[in-house]
Chains A and B, each alone.
Chain A
Amino acid sequence: MLFNSYVFLFAFLPVVLVVWWTLRPPTVRLTFLALASYFFYGWWDWHFIPLLFTSTSVDFISGHMISRSDDPRRRKIVLVTALSINLAFLGYFKYAGFFVDSANGIGSWFGAGDSIPALHIVLPIGISFYTFNSMSYTIDIYRRIVQPARNFLHYAAFVSLFPHLIAGPIVRYSDIDQQLRSLQPRLTAKLAASGLFFFCCGLVKKLVIADELAPHVTNLFANHAHLHLMTGWAAAIGYSLQLYFDFSGYSDMAVGLAFLLGFRFPQNFNSPYQSVNISDFWRRWHMSLSFWLRDYLFIPLGGSHGSRAATLRNLFITMFLGGLWHGAAWTFVVWGLIHGCYLVIHNLARGAGLTPRNTIVNRAITYMCVAAAFVVFKSPTLSVAGDVLASMAGLNGLGTLHDLRVSVGATFLLEVVGLLVFVNVVPNTWQIKLEPRLRHGVAIGFAAGFAVLLIAQPSPFIYFQF
């Protein structure tokens, strides 16, 4: 079920909110919330409900086993077992087909043909997100950062909580533990106002901006072999904006829904295109994943406490795995590696005092690097990415403004320019200090109503595929 669908907006959400705020006993409320979230998940394909339940059960049981034991060896064995099961689920459903295809590809280079039968495994939606949610819980208990969930219901409600289940933000148990223990007794005007504000902002970002850019960007990437300098950059910039408004729109909607249920989620985007270097970018883009990778991968690898070479190696490994997390394709691996290279270069340049001092120059360089890397992220194959990047480098000619206008249309160009200014100047949803007045509410309502009227066809969020 999509947040931007009629069935969610006009049936699921109103029913869930009314029942949630009508029920009184916390156990009943959490039971209802977990069931509603499982229904939300099963709407897409009920066959994967047992997988979600099993993943939840494994981590809940492991968490309790770890917390009850003081034997370091036993604690470690349980942790490793739980992580292995989680990663096995993820590996089978998300990466098995990719590894088989890659092995067959390597085999065919040596004339072996497709020696392993191709796998056609359906990727359970949201598996990357809820697996990371669950893993952080078990690791945090092992590190004695959080207490285990009070009971299975608490934990099941946390993992399956529908606002973050499909595409994040990656919420940690420590974020929500206390909120689950002391549920909000009633929907206050403040919760409703914050929830509606975030949800409407997200709806407008997704439907009015991202979906408006999408067909132009798709068209440009479809003609990847015929792009030149200007159209190549139009494709890259267009996609970077589409992705930002799509994913941050989703995150805003998730935060808004959480408010409407009386929960608070962490921030996931903080004006990433205002970053002054690539390290800064990763503190602003998909923050819940970035911080997850830092806390559960980069730091355990040694972080930045070792030699410079070790730090660079750790950054590189983290970004490689971060890229692979996004999807089982070489494009995502290469995208992660590109960012690993960016971080290494930035680290070296900073150490040598070679980073520019001017903020605007820094922002422009960072943005261009990020947009160029997103070309690989977007492209279906490395060959397509190569075509677009070659055109961006001017290898297919410079093109003219007229070509640009004919290829993408004046409206798209104006939108792109306007949105570039917007993301650089306007505060993000978390920074906006809008006085909750009636006239502001009416304006936001009109915008949201207009956005609802744009839901003509199902338009999944880009990050749903991960």
Chain B
Amino acid sequence: MASETTATERVGEVAAPSAADFETARRGRRVPAFDELQPPPVELRRFVAGVLIAAAVVVVSVVAFNIVVDPFGTFGTGLFPTAIESDRSAKISLLEKLPYNPDVLIMGSSRSRPARPKVLEQLTGRTGFNSGVTSGGAVDWWVFAHLWLKRFPKGPHHVLLFVSDGVGTNVVNPQLAADSRAAPYLPKGLDTGEWSLLHKLKAYTSIDAARDSYRVVRACMRPEGCHTGFFHADGSLRLGLLRSAGVRTHRMQAKLSAELARIRRDGISHRLPTEHEQLTFERLLGYLNDHGITPVIVTNPLQPQLLAALNRRGNPRYKWSVDYLDRLHAKYRFRFIDLTSIKTFGGSPSDFSDPTHVDTKNMDLMLQYIVAHDHGIL
């Protein structure tokens, strides 16, 4: 607080007798030092031009670099692969080129990607294809089911669907919407999430996007060139891409600690999905049933510490999902297997790549359990 004392004490050495200086002393500077300078106007104009041009050069260069590299695949430049793994397009391509008729279509989100059709084949004798994609939801499953049945109309047809709490909402992933092969199957009336030009430019006016662009360009400068082959022909992940067990464990622990801290700090989401948000999911079940398919629906496991933390807070989304699926039995045919707890299938708490994503070891155990408890569907 500026107390009402002597002028000298108020401003130290600044106090001076003139009226202007008294005002400065009373309420701070009126004229900044920069403004006190009296350079020639030409210097000032150069300074202004320098600021504006340099700022524009930085921004325009970065935006142009990002558009050329197009790390998010929003402009469709196509000169480089996208930084974000566009697994929807990759898996559609694989399904289009698949040389055999997959009996079992595996669907789900990134949490289903470690499921290997080869392991399933060893257990059931049936071939398969893993169409699990990052943030996969009901619309993705709807599209993949249509593509699969169109490409391979002759059976047998079986579906193994991995769901998380909240089951499967109507959200349309922009990457799916951008793929012309998926477009005919997108449910009408849903928000396709397509970005406007301004949104695209905004996304690329960013250091983060430039960092992604740099990462893409650097990756393409390797001797083997740009590498986009993340999957085997059957849609399963190339194991070579997975990190070593030590690194994985360390990262999993770090992510687990962060997630538990976040739950302690913020609590958990109590927002429950509405049944309207599950419209596409229910249409999918109806569509599969109409084609004589009884899907096996499995809930994805959680790392036990995370599950315990959620259960301590009531885990409302999980409870809603189980109740909802239970109610759906009255309308649709499907087999539900709850593998949220790894105790059910004898999984290991360390075989997770992060608190919500199992590793292949746990997934293999899950597949064994599913086949043993699917009432012979698979």
- Assuming the contacts A291-B26, A446-B54, A449-B57, asked whether A322 and B45 have C-beta atoms less than 8 A apart, the reply is no
B189 at the interface (CB under 8 A from A): no
- The interface residues of chain B lying within 8 Å CB-to-CB of A283 are 2, 10-11, 28
Looking across the interface, which residue of chain B has its beta carbon closest to that of A433?
B33
- The interface residues of chain B lying within 8 Å CB-to-CB of A435 are 37, 39, 43
Bound form: Cα–Cα A347–B1 in Å: 12
The answer to whether A339 and B62 have CB atoms under 8 Å apart is no
The answer to whether B58 and A445 have CB atoms under 8 Å apart is yes
- Assuming the contacts A193-B44, A449-B56, asked whether A455 and B1 have C-beta atoms less than 8 A apart, the reply is no
Interface residues in B54-79 by Cβ distance below 8 A to A read 54-59, 62
Choose one: A196, A255, A304, A339; the contact of B4 (CB below 8 Å): A304
Choose one: B33, B37, B43; the contact of A431 (CB below 8 Å): B33
B376 at the interface (CB under 8 A from A): no
Interface residues in B259-282 by Cβ distance below 8 A to A read 261, 265
* Complex interface: stretch among A120-128, A233-241, A262-270: A262-270
The answer to whether B1 and A339 have CB atoms under 8 Å apart is yes
- The interface residues of chain B lying within 8 Å CB-to-CB of A194 are 32, 34-35
Bound form: Cα–Cα A436–B37 in Å: 9
Chain A positions 411 through 450: 1 when the CB is less than 8 Å from some CB of chain B, otherwise 0: 0000000000000000101111111111111111110111
The answer to whether A441 and B48 have CB atoms under 8 Å apart is yes
Chain A positions 244 through 268: 1 when the CB is less than 8 Å from some CB of chain B, otherwise 0: 0000000000010001000010111
Choose one: B2, B32, B48; the contact of A198 (CB below 8 Å): B32
Query: Within the complex, what minimum Cβ distance (angstroms) separates B228 from chain A?
Result: 26
Bound form: Cα–Cα A287–B208 in Å: 36
B53 at the interface (CB under 8 A from A): yes
Query: Within the complex, what minimum Cβ distance (angstroms) separates B284 from chain A?
Result: 34
Choose one: B5, B32, B47, B261; the contact of A267 (CB below 8 Å): B32
A6 at the interface (CB under 8 A from B): yes
Bound form: Cα–Cα A189–B50 in Å: 12
Chain B positions 218 through 253: 1 when the CB is less than 8 Å from some CB of chain A, otherwise 0: 000000000000000000000000000000000000
Q: Using C-beta atoms within 8 Å of the partner chain, give the interface range for chain A.
A: 35 or more
- The interface residues of chain B lying within 8 Å CB-to-CB of A437 are 43, 46-47
Query: Within the complex, what minimum Cβ distance (angstroms) separates B261 from chain A?
Result: 7
Looking across the interface, which residue of chain A has its beta carbon closest to that of B43?
A436
Bound form: Cα–Cα A188–B26 in Å: 29
- The interface residues of chain A lying within 8 Å CB-to-CB of B265 are 222-223
Q: Which residues of B pack against A, CB within 8 Å? A: 1-5, 10-11, 26-37, 39, 41, 43-59, 62, 202, 205-208, 210, 261, 265
**8 pairs of A and B residues whose beta carbons are closest in the complex:** A441-B50, A445-B54, A449-B58, A189-B44, A436-B47, A441-B47, A449-B55, A303-B4
Given A196-B47, A433-B34, A449-B55, 16 new contacts (CB under 8 A):
A193-B44, A194-B32, A264-B31, A270-B29, A298-B3, A304-B5, A315-B1, A432-B33, A436-B47, A438-B50, A441-B46, A445-B56, A446-B54, A452-B58, A453-B58, A453-B207
6 contacts between A and B (CB under 8 A): A192-B44, A196-B51, A304-B5, A430-B34, A438-B43, A442-B50
